Amino acid sequence: MSEFDAAKQAAVAWIREQMDLHGLTFENLVEAGCFAVDHAEDADHADTDVDTGTDAAPPAAQVAPRVLYRNALGQTWDGSGEYPDWLQRAVNAGQSIDFYRVD
């Protein structure tokens, strides 16, 4: 098993533990908007949109910060600035930073 697979399994175990702890189901997460929704069906009806008559610009898209590194507990770092404590401790213990790279 690769280091990536081991980290992935640890992350899944942590997520399942948190779901059990809080009594959450997959359906609860979907309802809360935790997963991307497929808008392919909406695209079929794009030409049927009704003009509301307003000239307001559409809201600006919010861009999530880019995550470059993540540990099994879900802690992240975007690669800018100094290493966060969790990553510094791992590097000091001999772990390669590439082990935590997600992209």
State how far the alpha carbon of 60 is from the alpha carbons of 25, 30, 63, in Å.
32, 24, 9
Domain 60-103, architecture per CATH: Irregular (4.10)
Tokens of 85: 């404590």
What is the predicted pLDDT for the residue at 22? 86
Per-residue b or e along 7-26, where b marks 16 or more CB atoms closer than 10 Å to that residue's CB: beeeeeeeeeeeeeeeeeee
Distance in angstroms (rounded) separating the CA atoms of residues 36 and 14 = 21
> What number is the average pLDDT over the span 5-27?
85
All structural domains of the chain with their residue ranges: 1-45, 60-103
- pLDDT for the residue 55: 58
- At residue 57, the pLDDT reads 57
Whether 37 has a pLDDT exceeding 80, the answer reads no
What does the pLDDT look like over 42-94, one tens digit per residue? 445 444 444 555 555 566 667 666 788 999 999 999 888 999 999 999 999 99
CA dihedral 42, 47, 49, 54 (to 10 degrees): 130
